[in-house]
Structure 1
């Protein structure tokens, strides 16, 4: 089993009337997704989710509600990704070897930009908690 963790990363809009969600572009996969990644040996999922957000977006965050776990296969192996809602608390985006772009989008625009239905479903689950 491949174990991973990630977040629906959000922030309040500058005007304060709404929220924006972070979507990242991974050039290796040519896709738009939510920040996530594999757990390191001995690492718990909550710590991995915060670490992956920091590594892929440059942002620090505060974990909130746990969201549905995604389960699917990668290369014939089962993968389980635990997700949380996470409010951005600081930082700034810097391109890396994994992630070459980050967009802050209104929820509807984020859903339209995301490449995978499982990520779109997570945004819906996140919005249902608000």
Structure 2
């Protein structure tokens, strides 16, 4: 792997109520809806980064589950890799910030539609497959 790769990690964060709901965050800087994710800090492991980013962006503590496929795409002409996990929200409360100003809990079909980037939508299906939910 090249050293110019932007390394990030995140989660498809979910909770179980009557049905599965997926958390999406709104980032005003990009005016987009996405899964919580962020860049690794120097020396940080991807799993630790994913948990930290969920806490920072959603206010939720989570339990990591199955790894999901890694997303690969370019940002500003540089390759970016985002390692994802499915993660169950266990506690916490959202507080808006400059980085993330809104959090939505949506059923899978609505989450697919709300996600801004096509590259994020397939992760909903990967989550459902990992949870063995139709």
TM-score tier after normalising by the smaller chain length: over 0.9
The runs of at least 4 consecutive aligned structure 1 residues that moved more than 6 Å come to none
Q: Distance in 2 between matches of 1:66 and 1:123?
A: 13
What count of residue pairs does the alignment treat as equivalent?
A: 127
What secondary structure does 1:129 align onto? helix
- Aligned: 1:54 with 2:52: no
What CA deviation, in whole Å up to 9, does each residue of 1:72-127 have, x standing for no partner? 11001110000000000100000111000000001111111100111101111111
1:12 corresponds to: 16
Q: TM-score, normalised by structure 1?
A: 0.96
Shift of 1:18: 1.2
Q: Distance in 2 between matches of 1:87 and 1:54?
A: 12
What CA deviation, in whole Å up to 9, does each residue of 1:6-47 have, x standing for no partner? 00000011xxx3110000100010000000000000000000
Q: Distance in 2 between matches of 1:84 and 1:117?
A: 18
What secondary structure does 1:42 align onto? coil
Q: Distance in 2 between matches of 1:45 and 1:129?
A: 19
Provide the alpha-carbon RMSD of the alignment: 0.6
Q: Distance in 1 between matches of 2:77 and 2:67?
A: 27
Q: TM-score, normalised by structure 2?
A: 0.93
What secondary structure does 2:52 align onto? helix
What secondary structure does 2:89 align onto? strand
Please list every run of 5 or more consecutive structure 2 residues that lacks an aligned counterpart in the other structure: none
